[in-house]
Amino acid sequence: MKVLTVFGTRPEAIKLAPVIKELEKSRVIDSRVCVTAQHREMLDQVLQLFGIECDWDLDLMRKGQSLFDVTARALRSLRRVLEREKPDIVLVQGDTTTAFAASLASYYLKMKIGHVEAGLRTNDKFHPFPEEMNRKLVDSLCDFWFAPTPSARDNLLREGVCRERIAVTGNTVIDALLWISHVQAMPSTQEVLERVFHERYGVSFGKKRTIVVTGHRRESFGEGFEHICEGLKMIADKNDDVQIIYPLHLNPNAREPVYRILGDTEDIRLIEPLDYSLFVFLMEQAYLVLTDSGGIQEEAPSLGKPVLVMREKTERPEAVEAGTAKVGRDRPLADTCRDSATP
């Protein structure tokens, strides 16, 4: 059986790495890998970290690319790959434009599709945008649904998916996270990582409580990011015992308001995107994590860190139900953080 795994962003690579490594071990599966490189720089370091070799690299990323651009280029390029490879199953992950384009291209060619992380829902097509509809469209096209939780499975059942075609697998991002955490567990490794943060970013841990922030969602562009930044500035101004570390996304729409509002704020470190291993170490040092990311909503609680999800809705309600995360950005961010964090 030939399985072609298609992905294009760093989160997809992280979440699919454990799956790809298991496929490589199989004697009955011919595992092939295609990356669209929807996110070029942020993808490559994950491929290197997990030792993933690509059979196809479409290198689609362009400066200032829109959803129209990425979707059209991916659809055309993937047709060529699929017709050449003729896989028995095309495996995609999550809610990205790459996942949607690969599923649509496979459907046009009448190829079977498997969806890792199927069934997550907010039931609001603009939150998150375009991820909610990407995921629903992939689920409507695929043949095998790999749901991370019973809740995600139940969403699929309510939409009429055959129970026998659904497998509840757990979150593959946690497999990746635990692997990295195990590698970094040695004291000597921890010393090296602490030295990297001190020398490269001027950050030390232990003297102040560390708040880790990430943000990149399209629905927050503009006013939403400005409100987030104003809240972060308020936290830093009112709490002398806190340092905020904010690895910035490469998208200019996610960076401009952050530099404009927070660039000169004491105790806020704005840094470039971190390698995944460094970011896992940073989360391990955190007192609180603020994010609009889907994967980090799962990773941080797995490390015992409370999370404030800076969105209006989340497709991952399990952490909220478990009491490890809160969702919202409507009321002042500083008040929400104070209510969310535990001493």
Whether cis (ω within 30° of 0) applies to the bond prior to 128 is yes
226 is known as an active-site residue? no
Q: Which of 249, 311, 316, 329 is catalytic?
A: 249
Per-residue pLDDT tens for 284-324? Answer: 999 999 998 888 888 999 899 999 999 888 898 888 898 88
Q: Which of 79, 218, 255, 269 is catalytic?
A: 218
Q: Which of 12, 85, 131, 298 is catalytic?
A: 131
Q: Which of 32, 40, 115, 216 is catalytic?
A: 216
In the chain, what are the domains? 2-170 (3.40.50.2000), 186-340 (3.40.50.2000)
Secondary structure (3-state) at 184: coil
223 is known as an active-site residue? no
Give the C-alpha separation, 242 to 48, whole Å: 34
41 is known as an active-site residue? no
Q: Which of 12, 85, 95, 299 is catalytic?
A: 95
275 is known as an active-site residue? no
Which residue's structure tokens are 């651009």?
Answer: 69
260 is known as an active-site residue? no
In the DSSP assignment, the letter for residue 164 is: G
Secondary structure (3-state) at 261: helix
pTM higher than 0.85: no
Q: Which of 117, 175, 219, 298 is catalytic?
A: 117
Distances (CA, A) of 46 to 29, 37, 86, 198, 203: 23, 12, 27, 23, 23
315 is known as an active-site residue? no
State the pLDDT at residue 215: 87
Tens place of pLDDT per residue across the chain (343 aa): 999 999 999 999 999 999 999 999 999 999 999 999 877 777 888 999 899 999 999 999 888 888 999 999 999 999 999 999 999 999 999 999 999 999 999 999 999 999 999 999 999 999 899 999 999 999 999 999 999 999 999 999 999 999 999 999 999 999 999 888 877 766 667 788 888 898 888 888 888 999 999 988 777 787 888 888 999 999 999 999 999 999 998 788 888 888 899 988 889 999 998 888 899 999 999 999 999 888 888 899 989 999 999 988 889 888 889 888 999 865 445 555 555 554 3
Supply φ then ψ for residue 332, to 5 degrees. -50, 130
